């Protein structure tokens, strides 16, 4: 091992990042992941570009980071392959002073309950007891005790939507570098901060916990205030992931630093604020069934364009992306039949339907069966008769995309799963969202460009693998007392754990 504090530390990079619903029949296999290794992985992090201060502060050993669009559970064999490659890379890489662990926190793996905890424990065992591990996470991840004990530093996003994602990754690396340089030099215990952790028995969807609105906005404003305290290094609140049925799924707070009393007080402050507000969280927009959303959007004088979130099959929350129920309902609305009102629906992925439309060509009439090849639960395939409006090839996520017009409905069908978050996603298909009356998107809360686009907005409570009606989904394996599945006031008696690794031992300390 290098002489930390005297020379350049050696820091490895690895992780697996995906948000995966156990209620979706979709499977996130090898092909779902973008796999980055070596220089390609190092180039992924802009703050580690050549000439950047953090790049020059260490010798970086990039191993494997796998990142996927949210989806269904990861097959065990896919997870085991990625895990084995990471562990092999650690063994081949020599001694590490530090390790940047880039994960999401809501990866579900078939036949497992805590995939990130399992991966972190395996990484820790391979690295040994002295290496400092820093993890960055999505705030919709989960923090189990197994994960907590395996890492030394841990932080997550503070904004939903995640406009601070890259800032968070850079903060995790900055914290790691700062601790490697802390007083104590090469002494692995002296450079380790304490961690104050507590799980908060609340599990809510991101659409109720957006930091754009109260109460999450005010609660998250307290995070940097706690972080600024004397003896505190970092503070984070995790919302947890609502669409997996695992005991670890609930909110959590972790505060790290050198003063056990200060970090315990900060953890209690943030956790209590979250628990006390549990009944105050509300949807980020008016949340209605689809018919009511359409009634509002079609009303005389409704602002244009009007955006409706088709939330139940949101691919960026873990939905399969091919649920056809909403499109079927749109095609049955008489107000959309003659083209006087224009509507875009984004989207359904269906390789065969795309192939048939491409064979027919632009301007041709087609009669397609669309969707429900993966998630047939809510509706099965929908019959789509219309005209091929456009064909677009070469999208790195979607592959080939076709637009089928039927009356006033322009239905986007993609070869592969794709989220629609940017105006360019529409305009390159020949569609103009600004000039369209209604835009229906498989999404929950609106990403920044769509949020700016929307003159009016409703959140559609539609069915799918990430249904906003959590009770309807039927969780059965959550920890006892989790709100809103139960509302036990005594569950808020929070038991804060303050600990750090000392050699092979996890030592818990009294905070007061």
Q: Which pLDDT tens digit goes with each residue over 383-398?
A: 999 999 999 999 999 9
Taking residues 220-232, report their average pLDDT: 98
The pLDDT of residue 3 is above 80? no
Instruction: Provide the β-strand partners of residue 413.
Output: 348, 402
More confident residue, 3 or 397: 397
> pLDDT tens for residues 474-487?
999 999 999 999 98
- Tokens 């601070």 -> residue: 164
More confident residue, 480 or 490: 480
Residue whose C-alpha is closest to residue 344's, from 443, 447, 463, 415: 443
Residue 511's pLDDT is: 61
Residue 315's pLDDT is: 96
Mean pLDDT lowest among 64-68, 99-103, 187-191, 482-486: 187-191
Taking residues 340-365, report their average pLDDT: 98
Averaged pLDDT of the chain: 95
CA dist 305 → 3, 344, 441, 442 (Å): 60, 10, 13, 16
For 384, the token pair is 């789509």
When computed from its CA atoms, the radius of gyration of the chain, rounded to whole angstroms, is 24
The pLDDT of residue 5 is above 60? no
Residue whose C-alpha is closest to residue 205's, from 443, 466, 25, 486: 466
> pLDDT tens for residues 449-475?
999 999 999 999 999 999 999 999 999
- pLDDT classification of 510: cutoffs 50, 70, 90: confident
Taking residues 301-325, report their average pLDDT: 97
Instruction: Give me the residue spans of the domains in the chain.
Output: 10-282+493-508, 287-467
- pLDDT classification of 126: cutoffs 50, 70, 90: very high
The pLDDT of residue 184 is above 70? no
Mean pLDDT lowest among 186-200, 248-262, 298-312: 186-200
- pLDDT classification of 186: cutoffs 50, 70, 90: low
pTM: 0.93
Residue whose C-alpha is closest to residue 457's, from 444, 474, 471, 470: 444
Whether 348 contacts 322, CB under 8 Å: yes
Whether 19 contacts 73, CB under 8 Å: no
């Amino acid at each position: 091992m290098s002489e930390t504090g005297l020379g350049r530390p050696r820091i490895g990079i690895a992780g697996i990042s995906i948000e995966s619903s156990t209620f979706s029949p979709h499977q996130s296999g090898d092909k779902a992941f973008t796999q980055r290794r070596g220089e390609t992985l190092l180039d992924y992090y802009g703050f580690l570009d050549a000439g950047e201060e953090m790049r020059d502060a260490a010798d970086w050993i990039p191993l494997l980071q796998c990142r996927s669009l949210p989806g269904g559970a990861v097959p065990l064999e896919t997870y085991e392959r990625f895990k084995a490659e990471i562990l092999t890379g650690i063994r081949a890489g020599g001694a590490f002073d530090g390790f940047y662990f880039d994960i999401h926190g809501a990866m579900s793996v078939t036949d497992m309950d805590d995939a990130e905890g399992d991966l972190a424990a395996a990484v820790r065992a391979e690295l040994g007891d002295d290496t400092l591990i820093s993890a960055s996470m999505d705030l919709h991840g989960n923090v189990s005790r197994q994960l907590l004990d395996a890492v030394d530093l841990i932080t997550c996003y503070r904004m939903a939507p995640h406009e601070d994602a890259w800032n968070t990754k850079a903060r995790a690396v900055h914290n790691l570098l700062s601790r490697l340089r802390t007083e104590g030099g090469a002494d692995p215990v002296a450079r380790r901060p304490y961690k104050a952790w507590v799980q908060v028995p609340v599990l809510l969807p991101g659409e109720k916990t957006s930091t754009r609105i109260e109460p999450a906005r005010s609660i998250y404003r307290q995070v940097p205030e706690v972080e600024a305290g004397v003896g505190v290094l970092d503070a984070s609140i995790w919302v947890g992931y609502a669409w997996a049925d695992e005991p670890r799924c609930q909110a959590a707070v972790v505060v790290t630093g050198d003063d056990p009393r200060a970090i315990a007080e900060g953890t209690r402050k943030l956790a209590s604020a979250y628990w006390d507000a549990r009944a105050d969280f509300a949807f980020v927009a008016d949340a209605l069934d689809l018919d009511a959303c359409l009634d509002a959007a079609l009303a005389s004088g409704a602002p244009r364009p009007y955006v409706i979130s088709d939330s139940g099959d949101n691919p960026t929350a873990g939905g399969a992306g091919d649920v056809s129920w909403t499109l079927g309902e749109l095609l049955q609305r008489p107000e959309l039949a003659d083209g006087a009102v224009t509507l875009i629906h984004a989207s359904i992925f269906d390789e065969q339907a795309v192939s048939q439309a491409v064979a027919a060509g632009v301007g041709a009439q087609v009669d397609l069966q669309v969707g429900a090849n993966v998630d047939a639960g809510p509706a099965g395939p929908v019959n789509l008769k219309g005209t091929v409006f456009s064909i677009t090839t070469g999208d790195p996520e979607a592959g080939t995309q076709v637009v089928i017009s039927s009356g006033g409905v322009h239905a986007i069908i993609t070869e592969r799963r794709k989220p629609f978050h940017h105006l360019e996603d529409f305009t390159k298909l020949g569609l103009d969202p600004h000039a369209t009356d209604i835009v229906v998107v498989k999404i929950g809360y609106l990403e920044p460009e769509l949020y700016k686009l929307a003159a009016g907005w409703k959140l559609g409570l539609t069915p799918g693998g990430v249904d906003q009606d959590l009770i309807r989904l039927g969780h059965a394996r959550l920890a006892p007392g989790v709100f809103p599945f139960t509302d036990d006031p005594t569950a808020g008696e929070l038991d804060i754990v303050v600990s750090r690794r000392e050699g092979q031992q996890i030592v818990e300390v009294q905070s007061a």
